[in-house]
Amino acid sequence: MTDILAITDHRRGELRDVSYEIITAGRQLANETGGDLHLAVISGTVDEFAEKLNREGVDAIHTVDHGEEFNHDVYAQAITQLYDELAPQYVLAPNSVNGLDYAPAVATRLELPIVTDTIDLATDGETLIATREMYGGKVETTTELEGSAVATIRSAEWPQAEGTGDAAIEAFDAAIDEDAIGSTVNGFEEIGGGDVDISEADVLVSVGRGIEEEDNLPLIEELADALGATVSSSRPIVDNGWLPKNRQVGQSGKVVTPDVYIAIGISGAVQHVAGMKGSDTIVAINTDPNAPIMDIADYAIVDDLFDVVPALTEEFQ
């Protein structure tokens, strides 16, 4: 039997979108072999979460009522015990920051192979075929492995499950060994605030590592001024301290949905794209015709930003 155990994600009282996406991914694998889809929801208001997760295609939901927020030791213990009880073929987890904090430990504890950040999965019951990217999204690969495995799924790759299901919701009495908990979560901190809210802007001129040096940033600011636009950036610009953290677009930054997003010298790594793919019109200015940003851009100029940007600014002055 090819049963699937999928782990859901939540934070500060709310289920995260990937929790509904993982239902779709899990159901798809279970359908391919006629297995059952089990969900686990660990910590927090598990009963409330379980009701929301009871969507079409879910066979059982196992709630582990222990603690308010995510703790990787609690997750690792609960998941390994669920695995022993349910003997699923595959354990699916989100490739979220929390998924990255427990999934490898679960795989190691269960002596299973792990394949992370998958964007597609298929199985014939024996072999798992995982599609994933390498080299920052420049190529896609398929990877195969035999037998049981842990796989993490990239967010927003599978649609969210809908409808109402008739899953059996059961409390799972995990024996959590408190002595084995070596880390304590003390709280959360919001980063950002500051001068502007890039998520409110209609037009964003966004700058990436292609700009090379802080001294070149005025080039981008002049363009933004000429267009009446706001300046945002990819992560390296913020890491370098050239722009404040509230300007960062992406998974760990802000999600933006402007009418026009101009990506200048930005490759389009998945964590960046996560923050801007909802933009109405995406323009890429990049010397690399194969940069992943080209796959989601509506318009592109394959050229040196140091030539194109001043010419564009001049058009509007």
Partner 1 sequence: MRILVPVKEVATVEDEFEIDGTEIAEQYLGADLNEWDDYAIEEAVQLREDGVADEVVTVTIGPEECEQTIRQALAKGADRAVRIWDDALEGVDLLDVGAKTEILSAVVEEEDPDLVLTGVQAGDDSFGATGVSVAENLSYQWGAVVNHLEHDFEGGIASVHRELEGGVEELTDIELPAVLTIQTGINEPRYASLRGIRQAQQKPLDVQNLAELGIDEGAIESELELTDMYEPESESDVTTWEGSSDETAGQLAEMLRDKGVAQ
In angstroms, what is the minimal distance from the CB of 78 to ligand FAD?
A: 24
- Is residue 157 a contact residue for partner 1 (CB under 8 A)? no
- Report strand pairing: 203-207 vs 230-233: parallel
User: Of all residues in this chain, which one has the CB nearest to ligand FAD in the complex?
Assistant: 250
H or E element at residue 104: helix 99-109
Per rule CB under 8 A, is residue 84 in the interface with partner 1? no
Q: Which of 1, 87, 168, 185 binds partner 1 (CB under 8 A)?
A: 185
State which of residues 56, 226, 242, 244 lies at the interface with partner 1 (CB under 8 A): 226
Q: Are 37 and 26 in contact (CB under 8 A)?
A: yes
Please say whether the beta carbons of 204 and 262 come within 8 A.
yes
Residues 103-162 that bind ligand FAD (CB under 6 A): 136
Asked if 234 touches ligand FAD (CB under 6 A), the answer is: yes
Q: Considering the rule CB under 6 A, would residue 248 count as an interface residue with ligand FAD?
A: yes
Q: Does 125 bind partner 1 (CB under 8 A)?
A: no
Instruction: Write out the binding residues for ligand FAD, residues 44-103 only, by CB under 6 A.
Output: none
Does 309 engage in binding with ligand FAD (CB under 6 A)?
Answer: no
By beta-carbon proximity to partner 1, the closer residue of 16 and 52 is 16
Q: How far is the CB of 58 from partner 1 (least distance, A)?
A: 24
**Residue 151's closest CA among 98, 76, 95?**
95
- CA 184 distance to own-chain centroid: 24
Phi, psi of 225, deg, nearest 5: -60, -45
Angle at 245 between CA 135 and CA 118, to 5 degrees: 30
* Least distance in angstroms from the C-beta of 243 to ligand FAD: 11
* Beta carbons within 8 Å of 124's beta carbon, 6+ residues apart: 32, 33
The single residue listed with the structure tokens 């015990």 is: 81
- Cβ–Cβ under 8 Å, residues 163 and 53: no
Nearer to ligand FAD, 54 or 279 (CB): 279
Q: Is 277 in the site for ligand FAD (CB under 6 A)?
A: no
For residue 109, the one-letter residue type is R
User: Which residues here bind ligand FAD, judged by CB under 6 A?
Assistant: 136, 208-210, 234-236, 248-253, 265-267, 269, 271-272, 275, 285-288, 291, 304-306
